[in-house]
Chain A
Amino acid sequence: MPLGNNLASELSEDDTERISQSGIDLSRVSSCATYVQKDEDVLHSGCVDNGIEVLPVQKALEMYDWLREYCWNVVPKDKDDITKYVAAQKNPAGYVIIAKKGSKNIFPIQACVYLGRNQIQHVHNIIIAEEGAELHIISGCASAHHVGKGGAHYGVSEFYVKKDAKVSFTMIHTWGEEIDVFPRSASIIEENGVFLSNYVCMKPVHKVQMYPTAYLKGKNSVARFSSVVIATPESTMDLGSRAVLEAEGASAELITRAITLGGTIISRGHVLGKVSGTRGHLECKGLILKDGIIYAIPEIEGSVVGTELSHEAAVGKIAKEEIEYLMARGLSEEVATATIIRGFLDVKIAGLPEALQSQIDSAIDSAEKAGF
């Protein structure tokens, strides 16, 4: 893959391979629509293009005073030790992406955060889609093979989806077996706004802990969270998402597909219906392929007449009759099992551009090829 001079000197072939597994195409780096950060160094950041601005957060805060209103707004600085650590940084790292009013971009912006050293990497991202804008982001987070104990990623992301705007954020993780990852993110969605948040992690990681929250403040706003994860032995994934339905017509859907190959998955979810005329659905399906833990904790909480909330959770194994059904069609037991698992993980996200769906598909396919 041809890289720009700056990237070529900073990233090895192995690095670029790891990054590509997270869905980032570095050959596209010459385009405006890419942000690359290694540890705390910004290697590449885009410019204004098709109504989209991609800037390092420090530079953006210097350029735009108004941005301070959005900084540490939906995610509080003192939420926990992770946010406190990120907030205490004198030189904040991370990106700001602004989709200008009415701009429509189906082609995804690439945001790559790469960890190359045994230390804590801190990131603070702010994403704003102005009125009527459409913005899609693929966030590839990866680490070098050699990064071990002590390697950690603390990432804060604040999303602001204005009236009639649409944002999709697809995060594909390719971390290492000893790395701890603590994303902290939240979003505000205004009237008719749509926020799609997708998370894929098919690779080993020591610990991931996150619980992104969507505040649906505008009428008829929509949030959809989907997570597709595999926990390998020694991995602990404490994942959840929360939707707060605060305006009439707001709706949320939280979907998780989880597989353990010996690791631990805690799948949380919380939908709060605070206003009449709101809807929420939470779904967690888990497969235990090797002894491990899948602990689903779905919570639905309604406080007014006229909110409709539901949840569905199931943890189990692949039914023998499903495997035999496919074997009767001529597939071997191994292929039949893999075909069923691949289907289980196949979550099609309504409203997601084809390019992003295929990145998600190929991340899952790679796990299938590796034999899950």
Chain B
Amino acid sequence: MLEVQNLNVQVGDREVLHDINLEIPDGETHVLMGPNGTGKSTLLSTIMGFGNYTVTKGTILFRGKDITGLSVHERAELGIGLMFQRPPTISGLKLGTLLKATSKKTPEEVRKYAEKVNMGQFLERDVNKGFSGGEIKRSEVLQLMVQNPDFIMLDEPESGVDMENISVMGAAIGGLLEKDQNIVRRKKSGLIITHTGFILDFIDADKGHMMCDGTIKCHGNAREILKEIKERGYRECMQCH
């Protein structure tokens, strides 16, 4: 579904990502791990097409189509969705109004989704205004449920979520990625940034990638990579090539 080829990305005058290669087939969910500040969120932002991230080399293909030059909105329309780690607050815009604007679903369905992630009472609140860390994550998942993208990028979905809601989030993200569907019929794909691996208790990842210093150093079984990091830290991974 998604293919990133030899990608170099610059933010301002600084090159942040170098020679990234990544392939995520239909129906697969991959996990992206690595130390803070290594470029994981930059990669997601670049795939989404945000203006501050300049591709200086390489291409991003989505379902075989080169999307490197497309606008954020065009990418979203093609079926790419992103759960923001730190989304902006939009004063005056109600969450319910935003969902209505981005959804093809009926208001009843939207409300049902909101109830599912314990966000029913937030529909009349300004988007992200005064939301706690966990509420922001639930609001993000809700927006994605309504948007219904085919390729879903999640930036640390478990951070800030309390223990009571983590299973709610896990189930909702599992739903987004069609984890409840038979593997043959599953079409949706995902790329998840995680530090803790909590999310892996709810979503079986098909593959893991380890990013260091702006490039992907190794690929492999997500749980095994996580175990390595837990036991030995990032040091060994950083030496990989």
Contact = CB atoms under 8 A, between A and B. Distances in A.
Interface stretch (B17-25, B70-78, B165-173, B175-183): B70-78
Interface size grouping (class) on chain B: 20 to 34
Given A335-B101, A339-B101, A346-B92, A330 B87 contact: no
A343 B51 CA distance: 23
A279 to B, nearest CB: 21
Which secondary structure dominates where chain B touches chain A? Answer: mixed
B76 A328 contact: yes
Contacts of B87: 325
Of listed B90, B97, B127, residue having the most chain A CB within 10 A: B90
A249 to B, nearest CB: 27
A67 to B, nearest CB: 41
A189 B82 CA distance: 52
Contact of B76 (A322, A327, A340): A327
Contacts of A336: 73
A320 B50 CA distance: 10
A333 interface: yes
Interface residues of A, number: 25
Given A324-B50, A339-B101, A343-B126, A330 B77 contact: yes
Contact of B98 (A319, A332, A333, A339): A339
Interface string B92-106: 111001100110000
A90 interface: no
A326 interface: yes
Contact of B91 (A324, A339, A344): A344
A322 B92 contact: no
B50 to A, nearest CB: 5
A324 B72 contact: yes
Of listed A330, A336, A340, A347, residue having the most chain B CB within 10 A: A330
Of listed B73, B126, B147, residue having the most chain A CB within 10 A: B73
Contacts, number: 72
B102 A327 contact: no
B73 A332 contact: yes
A345 B90 CA distance: 12
B51 A329 contact: no
A324 B73 CA distance: 8
Interface string A203-240: 00000000000000000000000000000000000000
B84 interface: yes
Nearest to A323: B72
Contacts of B93: 339-340, 342-343, 346
Contacts of B9: none
Interface in B14-53: 48, 50-51
A343 B102 contact: no
Contacts of B73: 327-328, 330-333, 336
Nearest to B148: A330
B88 interface: yes
B81 interface: yes
A340 B90 contact: yes
A343 to B, nearest CB: 3
B215 interface: no
A330 B76 CA distance: 5
Contacts of A327: 71-73, 76
B48 A343 contact: no
Given A327-B71, A327-B73, A328-B81, A320 B51 contact: yes
Task: Enumerate the 4 nearest inter-chain pairs by beta-carbon distance, A residue then B residue, closest first.
Answer: A343-B93, A343-B92, A327-B72, A330-B76
17 contacts: A325-B88, A326-B90, A326-B98, A326-B101, A326-B102, A327-B73, A328-B72, A328-B81, A329-B143, A331-B73, A331-B101, A331-B102, A332-B73, A340-B90, A343-B91, A344-B92, A346-B94
Interface of B: 48, 50-51, 71-73, 75-77, 81-82, 84, 87-88, 90-94, 97-98, 101-102, 126-127, 143, 147
